[in-house]
Structure 1
Amino acid sequence: MIETLFERYARAVRAKDAASFLALYADEARVFDLWDRWSYDGVAARRRSIEDWFGSLGDETVEVRFDEVRITSNGDIAVAHAFTSFTAYASDGTALRSMQNRLSWGLQRRDDGWRIIHEHTSAPLIGETMEVQLVR
């Protein structure tokens, strides 16, 4: 089921498990990420950024929450989108920082289940200040 992709994504981030995280994506997936680059073409291109992100967290954990998830599917193709919240916690449970963004996935059902073939994350740009709004 498509809904399990959201659960697996959140579990992989919390565990800082790059292999499980990247397994959500088709090998040829194109990702338009909010951070650093215009696009990542394929899992191999994205691997380093995910490993660096998880490695930078040290003892922290990151909880991911998806709100207002909407899924439309037709056969082996689907689109899913949601508002996503990321909250980092210290080892003692203290919330350290958080951010929100918008997430859209293009999905394809394969022999081994649903895979993300396209991901786009974004946040609105405040026109007057040219700052990214990371809180909804």
Structure 2
Amino acid sequence: MTPTSPSAAAADREAVLDALRTYLEAIERKDPDAAIRMFAEEAVTFDFAPPLENHFNSLSDPSALEEWFETWVGPISTEIGSAKVMVMGSLAVVHGLQRLHGRKKNDGDLSMWYRATFILSRREDGWRITHMHNSVPMAMDGSGKALTELKPA
């Protein structure tokens, strides 16, 4: 593998972050089609909602996202905290803590931090998400309770 110049590495890193920003902005605008476009055809996600894994074929139907968007009043804000980005050729890994906040229709204000990992691949039409994994820590007291109230130190 040919070493990447520092300027090319910085450009790749910024392009990867731009792709993630595009995805997160689509979530904020509640635009399921734009969000789905940021995924590669073979994408697999491990997200909060069941099932344990989603293959892109099930994600390509925007109805699940539309239903989730309907549970919110106004925009759904999400931001990646101190993201770590590693790019190696046409593959990128981004991980860090992410914050989701907004107003739920039946539950009021929501603000939660969670762990997020994205794997992206470079395509002819730009960087696309091939894997996304979101999770929250679980109480280890046998309750199985998700610890959504935790905040970064």
TM range (shorter): 0.7 to 0.9
Runs (4+) off by over 2 Å: none
Structure 1 gaps, min length 5: none
Aligned partners of 1:105 and 1:11: how far apart in 2?
A: 16
TM-score by length of 1: 0.87
Using the size of structure 2 for normalisation, the TM-score is 0.78
Q: Which runs of 5+ in 2 are unaligned?
A: 1-14
1:23 — aligned with what? 37
CA–CA separation in structure 2 for the residues paired with 1:89 and 1:40: 26
Residue 4 of structure 2 aligns with which residue? none
SS across alignment from 1:130: coil
CA distance in 1, matches of 2:17, 2:119: 13
Greater share of residues in strand:
1
Write the deviation string for residues 48-106 of structure 1: whole angstroms up to 9, x where unpaired: 3212111332x42211111010111111011111211111148xxxx711122111111
Distance 1:3 1:117 in 2: 14
Match of 2:64 in 1: 49
| Bigger Cα Rg | 2
In 2, Cα distance between the equivalents of 1:51 and 1:25?
17
Distance 1:76 1:10 in 2: 21
